[in-house]
């Protein structure tokens, strides 16, 4: 599916960047595994620490204080922030709990992904099962699926979608 998504971006002369927390660069790796990805992928930020999310991606302190970093609001701010930071058409973000312990009173497997584009942001809450590796892998699959749906018009920008 990543090949198809990148093909659409190249065809439209659009670009994408990633802001990753729990996936730790795995999403960027998935994208760059595709030959020719450099035609549309500009780069990514691994913002594992809250301070990096705030300082580099512009996640407001109020979002962190009110909603936490494992939230749709944080994912949306990360996606919009990386889009602005790297000057891309699209920004993708992942944040959540891969385990082994809960975070912010949220259980392992609670993940938020977001896609930011010219017309706004779409967020999706995921309730994933498995160990750290499975959760991180599944998160990458889910955000690529969401991104594909957004660029093809199957999911409206500004929408928050249910559990994936």
The DSSP symbol for 98 reads -
Distance CA 14, CA 99 (A): 34
- Helix runs in the chain, H state only: 2-12, 26-32, 50-55, 61-67, 72-86, 132-151
Confidence at 64, pLDDT banded by 50, 70, 90: very high
pLDDT single digits (tens) 84-99? 999 999 999 999 999 9
Neighbouring-strand partners of residue 96: 111
Model confidence at 116: pLDDT above 80: yes
Neighbouring-strand partners of residue 161: 124
pLDDT single digits (tens) 32-44? 999 999 999 999 9
Q: How high is the pLDDT of residue 160?
A: 62
Identify the H or E element spanning 142: helix 132-151
Name the burial class of residue 106, with classes exposed (0-12), middle (13-18) and buried (19+) by CB atoms within 10 angstroms of its CB.
middle
Q: How high is the pLDDT of residue 155?
A: 87
pTM score, whole prediction? 0.96
Sorted by where each starts, the structural domains of the chain and their CATH numbers stand as 2-161 (3.90.950.20)
3-state SS assignment for residue 96: strand
Confidence at 1, pLDDT banded by 50, 70, 90: confident
Contact status, residue 96 vs residue 24, Cβ threshold 8 Å: no
Name the burial class of residue 114, with classes exposed (0-12), middle (13-18) and buried (19+) by CB atoms within 10 angstroms of its CB.
buried
Distance CA 5, CA 96 (A): 24
Contact status, residue 96 vs residue 139, Cβ threshold 8 Å: yes
Share of the chain above pLDDT 90, in %: 91
Identify the H or E element spanning 4: helix 2-12
């Amino acid at each position: 599916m990543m090949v198809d998504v990148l093909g659409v971006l190249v065809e439209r002369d659009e670009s994408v960047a990633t802001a990753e927390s729990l996936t730790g660069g795995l999403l960027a790796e998935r994208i760059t595994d595709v030959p020719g990805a450099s035609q549309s992928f500009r780069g990514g930020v691994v913002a594992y620490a809250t301070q990096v999310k705030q300082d580099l991606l512009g996640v407001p302190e109020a979002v962190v204080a009110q909603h936490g970093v494992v939230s749709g609001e944080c994912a949306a701010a990360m996606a919009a922030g990386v889009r602005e930071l790297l000057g891309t058409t699209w920004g993708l973000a992942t944040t959540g709990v891969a385990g082994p312990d809960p975070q912010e009173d949220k259980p392992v497997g609670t993940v938020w992904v977001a896609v930011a584009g010219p017309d706004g942001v779409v967020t999706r809450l995921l309730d994933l099962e498995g160990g750290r590796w499975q959760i991180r892998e599944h998160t990458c699959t889910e955000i690529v699926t969401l991104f594909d749906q957004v660029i093809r018009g199957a999911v409206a920008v500004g929408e928050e979608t249910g559990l994936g």
